[in-house]
Amino acid sequence: MAGENAIPAALGVGSGRREPFLLFPHLLLLEDQEPREASLQMAVDRVLLESAALPILRIYRWAQPCVTIGYFESMAEAQIRHPALPIVRRWTGGGTVLHGHDAPYSLIVPRTEPFASVRPGESYRLIHGALANALRENLPEVTTASETAPKRSSACFENPVADDLMARGCKIAGAGQRRSRAGLLHQGSLQIGTSEFPRPQNFAALLASTVQSTTLPTDMLERALSLSQKPNP
């Protein structure tokens, strides 16, 4: 279809351009400062994806150390490896991630946005390219991985894939994605020794031409609370 072919061209995707460009005309920045349990944080992302009318960049915090696993990862294996920590399944793919001193974020893109239809590898590259540029003010040594390394374990941060963020030979940012009828959910973790996401406004400004700060609506939080109380598969 002509409309589908126009999507990559409109974003500059596939043109060979590597310089930064904006992915959205308008973005909501949700700096969610209230620490919450892992199951509730995952439920908030799901509710936002099912409800969002505009792209949302959500910066949030963990209430305690925890583990998240990708949608297709084994819960039993994670429980053996991390018997003392709460474990929750993400709605996105990827491996096992240990949380507690990382800075998590999510990018929610409704299906009405052209970017929601960009191929997974390309959307991953574009989001991480913007994140790398935002971080370089504080971490000038940040680079993107040029290729996927051989898998060493199920632990996400032991297995850099193409376009993960690296610093001094170590992976410092990875993410998982999921596409549904509602749109695209990109869940990322920044592991640089602090739970403070550095200057989220800078990241947001590299994603969209217009950025508006927002808060988590009470009704969405209540829906997420209800969802988080269901058994974790």
What pLDDT, on a 0 to 100 scale, did the predictor assign at position 153? 56
What pLDDT, on a 0 to 100 scale, did the predictor assign at position 11? 44
Q: Is residue 171 part of a domain?
A: yes
Q: Is residue 101 part of a domain?
A: yes
d(CA 28, CA 120): 22
Strands 208-214 and 24-31: parallel
What pLDDT, on a 0 to 100 scale, did the predictor assign at position 158? 59
Q: Is residue 136 part of a domain?
A: yes
Q: Are 130 and 207 in contact (CB under 8 A)?
A: yes
What pLDDT, on a 0 to 100 scale, did the predictor assign at position 168? 87
Q: What is the pLDDT of residues 120-164, one digit of tens each?
A: 999 999 999 999 999 998 899 999 888 775 565 555 565 678 899
Q: Is residue 178 part of a domain?
A: yes
Range of the domain at 118: 35-54+65-210
Name the domain count of the chain: 1
What pLDDT, on a 0 to 100 scale, did the predictor assign at position 147? 72
What pLDDT, on a 0 to 100 scale, did the predictor assign at position 46? 96
Q: Is residue 93 part of a domain?
A: yes
Indicate the pTM of the whole model. 0.87
Q: Is residue 169 part of a domain?
A: yes
DSSP E strand stretches across the chain: 24-31, 56-59, 66-69, 87-89, 97-99, 103-110, 143-144, 165-167, 170-180, 183-190, 208-214
d(CA 229, CA 233): 12
Give φ, ψ of 108 to 5 degrees.
-105, 125
- C-alpha dist (Å) from residue 212 to 29, 34, 137, 199, 233: 6, 19, 22, 15, 36
We report the CATH number of the domain holding residue 163 as 3.30.930.10
Among 13, 188, 229, 6, CA closest to 102: 188
Q: Which residues of the chain have pLDDT under 50?
A: 1-19
Structure tokens that stand for 163 in this block: 């376009």
d(CA 95, CA 105): 16
